[in-house]
A and B are shown apart, each in its own frame.
Chain A
Amino acid sequence: MPTAWNESRASEIIRRHEGREGPLLPILHDVQAEFGCIPAPAIPQIATALNLTRAEVHGVVSFYHDFREAPAGRHVLKLCRAEACQSMQGEALADQVLRHFGVAWGGTTPDGHLTVEATYCLGLCACAPSALLDGEPRGRLTTASIAALAEEIGR
């Protein structure tokens, strides 16, 4: 569970990377692991600590698909939309998932239960279609296993 924004906790995280070369990405990853996203006040704080401008830090945060402005749902399902999964009817399965949970790509269910995101390759291409559910790999997805997955996520 992500914790609420806490400036001194953020300072601790930044300090942990002191002396590292090019520490911005590792800091951002740790901040997101802690708070579930990159909270707006983290940006000036990181900028000051690393002697960068806010614009520079913001520019980095916005460049990478992984960094979020707001926390995701309690569960995150990353569905692969790349070619290997397409060849195994991954798009049709993805439509089914989106319809089942009533969300669009990147969307979160209104109760904050689940976020469904697109990803482009998980390296599980010989077991397509595939996904990561809360970081755990899932392969050979079918209509039946998607139904079971939906059950498991609690819907």
Chain B
Amino acid sequence: MSALRIFVPCDAAARAVGADRVAATIRDEAARHGVEVEIVRTGSRGLFWLEPMVEIATPTGRIAFGCVTPNDVPGLFAGYSRFAASHPLCVGRPEEIPFLKRQTRITFARCGIVDPLSLDDYRAHDGLRGLERARSLGPAGTVAEVTTSGLRGRGGAGFPTGIKWKTVADAPADRKYIVCNADEGDSGTYADRMLLEGDPFVLIEGMIIAGLAVGAGKGYVYIRSEYPDAIRTFSKAVAVAEAAGLLGAAAGFEIEVRVGAGAYVCGEETSLLESLEGKRGQVRAKPPLPAHKGLFGQPTVINNLISLATVPAILADGAEAYAALGMGRSRGTMPIQLAGNVKHGGLFEAAFGLTLGEIVDEIGGGTASGRPVRAVQVGGPLGAYFPRALFDTAFDYEAFAALDGLIGHGGVVVFDDTVDMARQARFALEFCAIESCGKCTPCRIGSTRGTETMDKIIRGERVTDNLALITDLCQTLKFGSLCALGGFTPYPVMSAIKHFPEDFDRPRLVAAAE
């Protein structure tokens, strides 16, 4: 009999809830029973409330077991048939779990399925088809394909990727660079991390295609230091790709991994370039655009990881197929990341256009605490807080912008009715103060003054006057900031004040507490 293949995620979030101990127990228990097993450490499928989720291979496909603890493992081995579908932890075929079944997995097609460091597995699951097609199309054809797909930057600003690439392709220079922004600083987001750990070759393929399209021979991947697992796995993947001749001087494209140093603002593209050059991560004024004068003054494509990792699928299956998905000017799919106080926290890749209510209530299943959903922050620390009254908003770049919000990198953080929105507004200002690069006065100093003013509001001091001060400060931040850290901090602050005014009525709250 051949070995029983068992898949246990090696994703950091799965490890954070005990996946390693589960894998070790499976190994021990198999030895005790004399069962031959092959344990494959995959990425995560992104159904985090079910992690550690263990899957086994059967002749008719995989079967999954959710929330497995080491204590459950002996039970999975005991009994008439091992890992029986009748076991209480069995959640059936993973593809049939509604959360996964409803998705359109393009960028995340392989994540959680393949062995992240096996190039053979990558090939067997459609890997490198995009690169093949890019080679046959040539640089101009490849850029045209990306443009036609309608792909927009998944890092937050939503700039059309094809147009960015064309600018770099047209810039005359001997040296050009591809920079992958894997700084993923927004709370509530983890899509970049999941791919780095679960399907790193798709990023490598995407970067090789980008290099080919614009004539760049070197790529940098800037990963935040808060992601030790991702750094480790992706660095190994680069070594595997080098050994296979996919990367390296002879292949015409090299990739170097660089590690951030705990500065949120380094996710801003020009700050990131400064950081790569070995400087303080201070934001550069634009123009010049990075596409003209980027890293070391050379034309540079800087893209979010998801933007780059979506390119292989676009080329493999054609721009039209991708562009057929979505709504309005938001084409294709977005990996929505449900996070925080949500029952079904996880990554949900879907075409643009779902409503916020569908995402939070239907897909997310409401809160983890079981209390009512009160507020949802979309798009990270610079994103607006939404009340239930706006749950009919469609997940689309323009729809969110129209409400003074943003979809950013696709993070959706859910809060229950215990949230104090005045504290959330205070945190937004405090975060701006902590992370400001220091270049603009409103962002550097105003954020600290704003935090102090919010403290007064929270204490119930001259609330009306102080709220007027905050509103003024937000105007100044909005118009007096070089980048979106200062410029968009007003989104969470003002949305909290606008949609949850009762939380700023502090004299009443203070009196009620006394």
Contacts and interface: CB of A to CB of B under 8 A. Distances in A.
A125 B258 contact: no
A74 B226 CA distance: 19
B263 A64 contact: yes
Interface of B: 12-13, 15-17, 48-49, 51, 184-190, 192-193, 225-230, 258-264, 275-282, 296, 337-342, 345-347, 368, 377, 381, 411, 413-416, 419, 424, 427, 431, 434-435
A126 B338 contact: yes
B263 A65 contact: yes
B226 A125 contact: no
Contact of A87 (B226, B263, B413): B413
A64 B281 contact: yes
A121 B185 contact: yes
Chain B binding surface SS class: mixed
Closest 9 CB pairs of A and B: A24-B278, A126-B345, A139-B16, A82-B187, A64-B261, A125-B339, A87-B340, A65-B262, A126-B48
Q: Which of A59, A66, A122, A136 has the most CB of B within 10 A?
A: A122
Contacts of A41: none
A14 to B, nearest CB: 13
A75 interface: no
A12 B17 CA distance: 39
Interface string A93-132: 0000000000000000000000000011111111110101
B309 to A, nearest CB: 16
A84 interface: yes
Given A60-B278, A126-B48, A28 B261 contact: yes
Contacts, number: 157
Given A23-B278, A84-B339, A125 B262 contact: no
A119 B347 CA distance: 22
Given A63-B263, A66-B262, A120-B185, A83 B278 contact: no
Interface string A56-86: 0001100111110000000000101011111
Given A25-B259, A82-B381, A83-B377, A123 B12 contact: yes
A26 interface: yes
A75 to B, nearest CB: 15
A132 B419 CA distance: 25
Nearest to A137: B16
A29 interface: yes
Contacts of A82: 187-188, 381, 431
